[in-house]
Amino acid sequence: MPNWIDEQVQKQRFEDMARTAQHDRLVSLALTVGLKRMRFYSPLLARLGCWLEVCGYRLQMRYGAAPEVAIATDSRGTTSRC
């Protein structure tokens, strides 16, 4: 026959399981929201990169620095809007 202590332990365990389930739901919700945010910032960061590239080229032309390409770019299937 269960006593009062066993009932309290069972109640505490149930509350812990409910709290863990709620935490897991919040974590999964936060992860899905984070993916949507990346879709918003990605085009902005791409435009910022293009703007920095153009400004850098203009500065090189203005101050006479010879533009040198240190890294070969690979543009397989990607289009640049710069």
Whether residue 81 lies inside any domain: the answer is no
Q: What is the reported pLDDT for 66?
A: 63
Q: In this predicted structure, what is the pLDDT of residue 18? A: 95
- Residue 68 pLDDT greater than 80, yes or no: no
Domains identified in the chain, total number: 1
Q: How confident is the model at residue 81 (pLDDT cuts 50, 70, 90)?
A: low
Q: Is residue 75 part of a domain?
A: no
Nearest C-alpha neighbor of 24 from the set 16, 13, 36: 16
Task: Tell me the C-alpha distance between 57 and 73, whole Å.
Answer: 16
**If you average pLDDT over residues 73-81, what whole number do you get?**
55
How large a percentage of the chain has pLDDT more than 90? 35
pLDDT reading at 34 higher than 70: no
In-domain check, residue 7: yes
Task: Give a yes or no: residue 11 inside a domain.
Answer: yes
Tell me whether residue 43 is in a domain. Answer: yes
Residue 74 lies in a domain: no
**Domain extent at residue 20:** 1-64
